[in-house]
């Protein structure tokens, strides 16, 4: 009987193949791809790629003059993983896999598990050792493990590194690298009061204009901004400064680029074979096959790779709805129903439950966030209760209603009052983040400032009262870069934000107001510790449509320190606006949009207001306050 050759520790073994086939090899990235190894006295690189329907596979690169006959790979059955060791292949050498299909065609593919890629427009992978990254964020990581998301403030700064700031210069010289961005972004975020940064466009992608939502290198931080070591430095730097890091993550689809995952070995390896399930007509992209164990394993190990190997604190999962619905973006005849005749993708549902159970189970305190644009039930529910298991969900309904209301001429807002109150009817059905993201300030949608009605003062005043309402409303918060200082132009990935606007007083005022809102949010437990509990929020008057004023209370636990918000959404001044309050106490004015530092008149007014026994808003006590045009007043009691 022939003796099986004993596998070396770095090689793909029988257990690896078994777990991969079961979809449970969660550390798969440590075996697949390219890894610098020592084999006895020989130094080189071990390569492993999954190409189950290939006729043959070889490694090609500068080191062998791209000759596919020089370094053929060996097929490891039963799954069709191809492997080889090549002596002398060193760090940062570029390579691809030359895949011979069953029809004899030759495909040159980048490595799906590569940790580094050459700078676009090049499409080759790079051998790179990421096994010895330097970390000094142990205090952060230990704290994360016991962190309670529900009772903590989360205010997210959504940013795109390539267009946040740029150096003067040509083409790719203009990008800040990961290290430069970390230092400058931390300085800005600490000044403003954000708790987390969400980075878009990190996984390697070929086209800048996709913003990173069409990924070709799922295990590689994009080389646009530096090396994997630079990327790790950035994460570490944010953590050392007590800022969490969230990455956008795209398991919904991938592009057709010739070097990418599409038709990887001449057949549908990563995507559904049936084009009615495997293609997005609107986006021109491929859809992952969530029913295939190896594909699910690829994606789950990728999520764990970012969280565990690079210490990322959360993933914002893009386009969840497109995964859940088989008919998403499709006409009749372009999709196929599930086995029960419905439009739910049962395999994607199971994938999400598996993904979130594993990622959050292995990484307590981490976040899995769903961008889900429909009313799918229990997105943040527990998998054992038939939920999808996400930590948080983007509140797209609130965002839509809020923006539609804010765009209106104030004269017509009284007829749309319920658009600002409706979200409270479902506020506790999920754990929500209120989002004003990059998607709302591109493609002719205007910047946040230019969505506002009126001219001059009115635009800035509208935005201030809108932001105040958002910060006071239950739910975690997200704001896209530039909108906190009233960026005038729409966002473009091709240029930096218009930082020069901060030389103008109006933009300084709005930035100062946003900063103080963020700091008010973080400082006061009433603003966040009961976000998911009905008794954390109370309308004082949700029905003052005639005057378009909203008043509400945020309650802290045990009512130790509560906040009363009054927001006026018209240019009318109410000289004696009376508001009902729960107790005959003193109410301290702690935020006033009319202050000069925010561009207001700076009119002198009392800091303390004493409630009197006078019925108002269905309450026995009340006090009156001079509410200026578009005025915001926050009282502590």
Is-contact 279 286, C-beta < 8 A? yes
Out of 371, 372, 440, 544, which one is annotated catalytic?
A: 371
Dist CA 324 CA 287 (whole Å) = 12
Whole-angstrom distance, CA of residue 220 vs CA of residue 202: 8
Which distant-in-sequence residues (6+ apart) come within 8 Å of 169 by Cβ?
none
Backbone angles phi, psi at 339, to 5 degrees: -65, -15
Distance CA 312, CA 203 (A): 13
* Tokens, residue 65: 């003059």
Compute CA distances 205 → 43, 119, 181, whole Å.
31, 10, 19
- Classify residue 630 as left (phi > 0), alpha (psi -120 to 50) or beta: left
CA distance 455 to 276: 49
Q: Which residues, listed in sequence order, are joined to residue 419 by a DSSP beta bridge?
A: none
DSSP string, 334-394: S----TTS-SB-HHHHHHHHHHHHHHHHHSTT-EEEE---S--TTTTS-GGGT----SEEE
Longest dimension (CA), the chain: 97
318 catalytically annotated: yes
Name the token pair of 467.
């932001």
d(CA 221, CA 215): 11
Only one residue has tokens 């993983």, namely 81
Whether 194 and 155 have beta carbons less than 8 Å apart is answered as yes
List the catalytic residue out of 198, 318, 516, 594: 318
Cis ω for the linkage preceding 78 (within 30 of 0): yes
Tally of CB atoms within 10 A around 186: 18
Contact 364, 356 (CB under 8 A): no
Place of tokens 């596919």: 68
Distance CA 188, CA 217 (A): 30
3-state secondary structure of 99: strand
| Beta-strand relationship, 476-480 and 314-317 | unpaired
Are 633 and 591 in contact, with CB atoms under 8 Å apart? yes
- Tell me which residue has tokens 């009156």: 624
Residues 6+ apart with CB under 8 A from 275: none
State how beta strands 586-592 and 574-581 pair: unpaired
> Could you check whether the bond before residue 22 is cis, i.e. omega within 30 degrees of 0?
no
Tell me how far CA of residue 608 lies from CA of 410, 539, 553, 567, 605, in angstroms. 30, 22, 17, 18, 9
From the CB of residue 438, how many other CB atoms can be counted at a distance below 10 Å? 23
Planar angle of CA 98, 104, 107, nearest 5 degrees: 30
Please confirm, yes or no, whether 289 is among the known catalytic residues.
no
| Nearest-angstrom CA–CA distance, 368 and 356 | 7
Which residues are annotated as catalytic?
318, 371
């Amino acid at each position: 009987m022939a003796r099986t050759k004993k596998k070396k520790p770095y090689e793909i073994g029988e257990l690896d193949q078994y777990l991969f086939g079961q979809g449970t090899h969660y550390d798969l990235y440590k075996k697949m791809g390219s890894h610098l190894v020592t084999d006895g006295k020989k130094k080189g690189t071990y390569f492993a790629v999954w190409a189950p329907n290939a006729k043959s596979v070889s490694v090609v690169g500068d080191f062998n003059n791209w000759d596919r006959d020089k370094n053929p790979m060996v097929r490891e059955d039963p799954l069709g993983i191809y492997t080889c060791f090549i002596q002398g292949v060193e760090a940062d050498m570029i390579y691809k896999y030359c895949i011979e299909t069953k029809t004899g065609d030759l495909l040159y593919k980048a490595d799906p598990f590569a940790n580094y890629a050459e700078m676009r427009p090049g499409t080759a992978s790079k051998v790179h050792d990421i096994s010895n990254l330097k970390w000094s964020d142990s205090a952060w990581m230990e704290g994360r493990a016991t962190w309670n998301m529900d009772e903590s403030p989360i205010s997210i700064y959504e940013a795109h590194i390539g267009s946040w700031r740029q150096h003067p210069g040509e083409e790719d010289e203009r990008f800040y690298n990961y290290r430069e961005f970390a230092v400058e972004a931390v300085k800005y975020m600490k000044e403003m009061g954000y708790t987390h940064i969400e980075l878009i466009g990190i996984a390697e992608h070929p086209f800048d204009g996709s913003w990173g939502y069409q990924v070709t290198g799922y295990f590689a931080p994009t080389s646009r901004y530096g090396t994997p070591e630079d990327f790790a430095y950035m994460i570490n730097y944010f953590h050392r400064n007590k800022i969490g890091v969230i990455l956008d993550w795209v398991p919904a689809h991938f592009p057709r680029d010739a070097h990418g995952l599409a038709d990887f070995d001449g057949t549908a390896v990563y995507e559904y074979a049936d084009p009615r399930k495997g293609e997005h007509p609107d986006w021109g992209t491929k859809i992952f096959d969530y029913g295939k164990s190896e594909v699910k394993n690829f994606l789950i190990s990728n999520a764990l790779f970012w969280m565990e190997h690079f210490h990322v604190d959360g993933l914002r999962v893009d386009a969840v709805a497109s995964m859940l619905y088989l008919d998403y973006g499709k006409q009749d005849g372009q999709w196929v129903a599930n086995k029960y005749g419905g439009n739910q993708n049962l395999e994607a549902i199971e994938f999400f439950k598996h993904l979130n159970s594993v990622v959050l189970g292995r990484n307590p305190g981490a976040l899995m966030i769903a961008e889900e644009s429909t009313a799918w039930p229990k997105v943040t529910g527990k998998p054992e209760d038939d939920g999808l298991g996400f930590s948080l969900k983007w509140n797209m309904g609130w965002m839509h209603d809020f923006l539609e209301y804010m765009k209106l001429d104030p004269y017509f807002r009284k007829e749309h009052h319920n658009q600002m109150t409706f979200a409270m009817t479902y506020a506790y059905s999920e754990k929500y983040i209120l989002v004003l993201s990059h998607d709302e300030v591109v493609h002719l949608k205007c910047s946040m400032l230019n969505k506002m009605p009126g001219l001059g003062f009115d635009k800035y005043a509208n935005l201030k009262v809108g932001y105040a309402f958002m910060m006071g409303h239950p739910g975690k918060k997200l704001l896209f870069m530039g909108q906190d200082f009233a960026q005038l132009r729409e966002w473009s990935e091709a240029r930096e934000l218009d930082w020069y606007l901060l030389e103008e007083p109006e933009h300084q005022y709005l930035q100062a107001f946003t900063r103080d809102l963020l700091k008010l949010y973080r400082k006061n437990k009433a603003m966040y510790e009961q976000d998911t509990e009905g008794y954390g929020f109370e309308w004082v008057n949700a029905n003052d449509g005639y005057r378009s004023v909203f008043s509400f209370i945020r309650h802290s636990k045990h009512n130790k320190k509560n906040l009363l918000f009054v927001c006026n959404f018209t240019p009318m001044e109410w000289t004696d606006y009376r508001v009902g309050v729960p107790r005959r106490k003193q109410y301290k004015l702690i935020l006033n949009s009319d202050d000069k530092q925010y561009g207001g008149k700076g009119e002198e007014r009392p800091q303390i207001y004493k409630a009197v026994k006078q019925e108002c808003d269905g309450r026995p006590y009340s006090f009156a306050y001079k509410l200026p045009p578009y005025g915001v007043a926050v009282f502590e009691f």
